[in-house]
Structure 1
C-alpha cells in the first residue's frame, strides 16, 4: 500500500515518553506485516503486536505498530490486511482499526540496525 492511497494522513495517535524495544520481530505470510512482542502503554505485560509497513511517496517506509488483539473482542488481527483506507478490519467481526487516526492507539515504529522500537513521540 502507498501513502497516496490513504485519505487523510495523521501522525501516530499513540504517545510514548521513551523508545520501547520490540522483541522477537518476525516476518509473516505478508511482506508488509511483521509481528513482535512489546509492553505498550496502557499495558503492564508483554503482548503480541503487529507492525505494518507502508511505502511513502518519498521512497521511505513508514512503520506503525498496534496490539495484535482487536480492542473489541480480542481476536488476533496479525493476519488481517491493511486496506488502502488506512484501516485493518478484524476478521472476526469486521471492526475497523485505523493505524493513521489520531483516535487509535497506533504507534510510530523506528528501526535501528536490526532492532525495532516504538518511537518516542
Structure 2
C-alpha cells in the first residue's frame, strides 16, 4: 500500500522502552507484508508478528509491526489486507486492528540493512 491510498496517516501508537529485534523475517505472498518473530511489550514469549510496509509520498518506507494473532479470538491476520482507513480487518470476525488509524497500537519498525527492529520510543 502507499500513502496516497491511505485516508489519513498517524504515527505508531505502541509504546516500547527498548529496541526489540525481530527474528526470522520472511516475505509473504504480498509485497507490503512480512512476518517474523519477536517478544512484544507486555509479553514474555516470542510470538509471530506481522510487519506492514507503507510507501510514503517521498518514496521512503514506513514499517509497522503487530501481533499476527487477532486480539479477539487469535486468528492469524498475516494474510489480511491493510485497508485505506488504516485498519486490518480480521478475516475470521472482521474485527478492525488499527495500524495507521489514530487509535493504533502498532509498533514502529526500523530497518538496518536486512535487520528489522521494533524501535524504542524517543
Provide the TM-score with structure 1 as the length reference.
0.95
Greater shift in the superposed pair: 76-85 or 44-53: 76-85
Shift of 1:102: 4.3
Are 1:79 and 2:79 counterparts? yes
Q: Identify unmatched segments of 5+ residues in structure 2.
A: none
C-alpha separation in 1, matches of 2:96 and 2:79: 14
What residue number does 1:13 align with?
A: 13
SS of the residue corresponding to residue 3 of structure 1 reads coil
CA RMSD of aligned residues (A): 1.0
- Paired residues, number: 121
CA deviation profile, 1:68-98 (whole Å, cap 9, x unmatched): 0001111000011111221111000101111
C-alpha separation in 2, matches of 1:16 and 1:101: 18
Q: 4+ residue stretches of structure 1 with deviation over 4 A?
A: none
Provide the TM-score with structure 2 as the length reference.
0.94
What residue number does 1:108 align with?
A: 108
C-alpha separation in 2, matches of 1:77 and 1:58: 28
